[in-house]
Amino acid sequence: MITSENYDILIIGSGGAGLSLALQLADHGIQIAVLSKFALTAGSTYYAQGGISAVFDAEDSIESHIEDTLDAGAGLCNPEIVRLTVTHGKESIDWLRKQGVVFTEEQTKSGDKKLHLNREGGHSHRRIVHTDDATGKAVSLSLIDRAQEHPSIDLFEHHNVVELITSASLGKYYKNGDKRILGAYVLDTKKQMVKTFSARVVVLATGGASKVYLYSTNPQSATGDGIALAWRSGCRISNMEFMQFHPTCLYHPNAQSFLISEAVRGEGGKLILADGSSFMQHFDPRAELAPRDIVARAIDHEIKKRGIDCVYLDISHKSDAFIKKHFPTIHQQCLKFGIDITKQPIPVVPAAHYTCGGVLTDSYARTDIANLYAIGEVASTGLHGANRMASNSLLECLVFANRACEDILKNLASITAPPILPQWDESQVSDSDEEVVVSHNWNELRHFMWDYVGIVRSNKRLSRAMNRIELLKKEITEYYSHFRVTSDLLELRNLVIVAELIIRCAQQRTESRGLHYTLDYPEADNSHQPKNTILSP
């Protein structure tokens, strides 16, 4: 049976970043493979509700968008990267429209139509381009349709990467001496066989790592695979302590962590307690429109202080027509759980939402390994700093897909094809007879990460978590060495690495800044220039 695939470009991930890059490269006579761990729509892009930030309003400006992003990032954004990203906002939206994405419009006084712009936390103006409250779904489906039609793009669903193949990892098979990417070993989860994909260029577009926590707004696929793959291959990782918790996740036993978009607060939604009293004004003058880290900590404070299960987000003071027009998906989803948001408040809690750190890249999405790129949530570009501002994430996907495309096209002709790569060897392993080990360790990991490395941390909590990480790593390494790989095992192996990276970064930051808040150092250290946390393998 043939288990080898050869391509010019291998893109790992089928979300907004990966498919945008594939489509931009595809018209240049390049053969491209796009891998999706599950279905093509299983990534975070598909579930993104809010929208994409870009300057379209005459009263808004590039400088204002830059200032808001820098403010949210709490001193750790790279100003050059922020400017680069923000200045490409409008052209990114225009490109998506050419791909068939239909954004919500409104009628002007003169009878013309223009893009309707939402406002979200941290933004000083309306600048969120959206498709009702299901922007990610519209973007994802349009890009998938275009990719499926293109003869230069092959889409592989249910393909989970086991390991990257580099010149260093091949050892005796590769004597060239340079440190470069050559491909990847990939588990076809339908056929339960490991394939060898060789490529001149490999791109990580695998998304974030929020499933390392017990409660998350992310889909099941967000297990930090690209971060762990890059780390094991020798790439530096940066700022993993900055895990963003979305303030408003629907609190219901059957809701499966359904996100309540930030746009609800942007359109006047109020955070209240069970008695109807508001509380955000006690934490920040911007109240509900404060950045996510402030709002999430405020909600966490109220829940712990009062011993309650949740707080409430109330938009019912708006008309029924307004709510159904602006938030049709949220309205319909909440109705399934017996909550009519036109008449009653929505019970909400914070949940892990976005990975602000990741694989360290430059302004062209290049990593430490030649011909290996990282784009989207998996990357640490310098845009988000210590806290991502709402709706800057999809913008980053689009801009850095374009940057990676530009660099790849410039250099591809000079990149030689990889040598014949050895097949995956599983001759020394057997089928597992103890799958319970995987499920038990998965649950234990996510529970102690939530309890000890969540919204509020301390030195003692981080130390406890690290002790448990060391035990889990030993068990998982032993298990991985003896049994055939499964998708669950690969995710667990990656998650324990991500968890360790988060803890190590958090232990190094002896201050509270942005999304990292510790009881031992409750204030930001402004006596020195703020620095990124960078870990080297």
Q: 3-class SS at 326?
A: helix
Instruction: For residue 178, count other CB atoms closer than 10 A to its CB.
Output: 11
Contact 118, 126 (CB under 8 A): yes
Q: Which of 292, 243, 223 is nearest to 533 (CA)?
A: 243
Q: What residues contact residue 200 under an 8 Å CB cut-off, 6+ apart?
A: 8, 9, 371, 412, 415, 416, 417, 418
Count of all residues that appear for the chain in the document: 537
Contact 421, 182 (CB under 8 A): yes
**Sign, Cα dihedral of 394, 408, 381, 215:** positive
Q: Which two tokens stand for residue 64?
A: 């204002």
> In 99-180, where does DSSP find H-type helix?
135-149, 167-170
CA angle 505, 391, 241 (to 5 degrees): 5
DSSP string, 54-94: ---STT--HHHHHHHHHHHTTT-S-HHHHHHHHHTHHHHHH
Q: Judge whether 457 counts as a catalytic residue.
A: no
CA angle 517, 521, 526 (to 5 degrees): 95
Contact 139, 23 (CB under 8 A): no
**Sign, Cα dihedral of 172, 535, 206, 417:** negative
Measure Cα distances from 218 to 2, 36, 44, 189 in Å: 35, 16, 6, 21
Contact 114, 106 (CB under 8 A): yes
Set 292, 403, 461, 509: catalytic member: 292
Write the single-letter amino acid at 123.
Answer: H
Q: What Rg value do the Cα atoms of the chain yield, rounded? A: 23
Long-range contacts (CB closer than 8 Å, 24 or more residues apart) made by 413-417: 415/200, 415/201, 415/371, 416/200, 417/6, 417/198, 417/200
DSSP-derived secondary structure letter, 312: E
Dist CA 264 CA 399 (whole Å)? 26
Contact 532, 479 (CB under 8 A): no
Q: 3-class SS at 267?
A: coil
Dist CA 211 CA 221 (whole Å)? 8
> In 176-327, where does DSSP find H-type helix?
225-233, 263-266, 292-306, 320-326
Q: What residues contact residue 281 under an 8 Å CB cut-off, 6+ apart?
A: 287
Catalytic residue set: 292
